[in-house]
Amino acid sequence: MKLKIWQAGEAVLRQRARALSADEIRSASIQDLIQWMRETMYDAPGVGLAAPQVGESIQLAVIEDRAEWIDKLPATQAEERERRPVRFHVLINPRLSTEGDETAEFFEGCLSVAGLTGIVCRARRVRVECLNERAEPVTIAAHGWYARILQHEIDHLNGTLYVDRMQTRSLCTTENHARYWKDQSIAGFWREMGA
């Protein structure tokens, strides 16, 4: 079943989501929600989807970055973004910490902020402690684009959208991004914008 993706302006996207108990995680209703979120993420298409984006104020997100999506990028972009395939997995009740001081700026979009994109500075390396869909503890060490996805989705669970973190001068429509900036480096974008 494909779920409705809620858009900016909905209160659920601005609230801190509640944690799930182990019994809730194993329940049929949460297992069904995970499957529906997966189908919705694929259909959108997106690389991550948090429960608040489908109207559920719970600490749950699904992530997958498929090889076929990365293969459509120019090799230089995939390398610059440190983008590698990430298998499907579930994050529940995540706790994120950054590792090191290195950051990277790239355009981000969001299924709940349709039609817009902006440059967001994020940590290059993160560590996430969470539960999986079986309520088992998991620790994830990630870098590059995967670290960005994790930060973006965990932000959703805390009521934060990428527009809260973006460089406001970089905001543009996805149409104009595709027309003018998708093949440009971030440094090139800033040069063109006079920043």
In a domain, 172, yes or no: no
Extract the tokens encoding 121.
Answer: 């500075």
- The radius of gyration of the chain's CA atoms, rounded to the nearest angstrom, is 16
In a domain, 170, yes or no: no
pLDDT of residue 190: 93
pTM of the model: 0.96
Domain count, the chain: 1
| Of 12, 141, 123, 107, nearest in space to 4 by CA | 12
pLDDT of residue 182: 86
Here the CATH number for the domain that contains residue 94 is 3.90.45.10
The active-site residue, picked from 39, 56, 153, 175, is: 153
| Of 150, 183, 148, 147, nearest in space to 75 by CA | 183
In a domain, 24, yes or no: yes
The domain containing residue 144 runs over which residues? 11-104+125-162
Active site residue 175: no
CB atoms closer than 10 angstroms to residue 97 = 10
Backbone angles phi, psi at 38, to 5 degrees: -60, -50
Tens-digit pLDDT string for the chain (195 aa): 999 999 999 999 999 999 999 999 999 999 999 999 999 999 999 999 999 999 999 999 999 999 999 999 888 889 999 999 999 999 999 999 999 999 999 999 999 999 999 999 999 999 999 999 999 999 999 999 999 999 999 999 999 999 999 999 999 999 999 999 988 889 989 999 876
In a domain, 75, yes or no: yes
In a domain, 77, yes or no: yes
